[in-house]
Structure 1
């Protein structure tokens, strides 16, 4: 069965927020990737390149708190209500497709399920009730 985690969006304060969460919850970051580390880095404004593209903090029992800086310059304005996602870690590519296709039915696909620049199988959508989802599978 897939693992469900929370994915938080911030307006440039992801690193500060996650350092705070780490100080309270403990643990070491599994991932801390900046936008400057991505293939899209050259398309970004210089002030956005050092912001967080992806960060993850394990919380135990397979739970991971994840986050990003939602960059308005990349078409992702942040408002209360869109500052989180339910993130599903699928066990297989087939499960990723089943969950993505089923949960996105009647909704709006934002990123079609497919190979991401970091090598994972990934997609994003809003379901028909307005809830934001990410489906992810590491091959």
Structure 2
């Protein structure tokens, strides 16, 4: 839902900033069985610094599928490979600059 699609008028104590009509107010999407909820930022420049999101895949095949999809148009940080703690683990920044860690734990 975009701000302009809200069924209620903006709260006068917390008005919608000018130019935000097409920004996302509420969004929900699934990654595997996980529901992720999001909205556009709180103004200012967009930066994705200082954090990484982690997604756990059920097996190596799913880890590769997720990793490849997130890496499309992005930047590889660490290739998907086995480690002492996971059968598959890799790190990347997606096309939007969001850092991700993808992992398939050892059985």
TM-score normalised over the length of structure 2: 0.53
Residue 100 (structure 1) aligned to one of 58, 67, 78 = 67
RMSD of equivalent CA atoms: 2.2
Bigger share in strand: 1
- After superposition, the C-alpha distances for 1:16-73 in whole angstroms (9 at most, x for unaligned) are xxxxxxxxxxxxxxxxxxxxxxxxxxxxxxxxxxxxxxxxxxxxxxxxxxxxxxxxxx
Bigger share in helix: 1
Question: For 1:52-91, what aligned pairs fall within 5 Å after superposition?
Answer: 81-91=48-58
TM-score normalised over the length of structure 1: 0.42
Do the aligned partners of residues 123 and 88 (structure 1) sit closer, same or farther apart at CA in structure 2, a change above 3 Å counting? same
Structure 2 spans left out of the alignment, 5+ residues: 1-31, 37-46
Structure 1 spans left out of the alignment, 5+ residues: 6-79
Do the aligned partners of residues 3 and 119 (structure 1) sit closer, same or farther apart at CA in structure 2, a change above 3 Å counting? same
Higher relative contact order (CA 8 A, sep 6+): 1
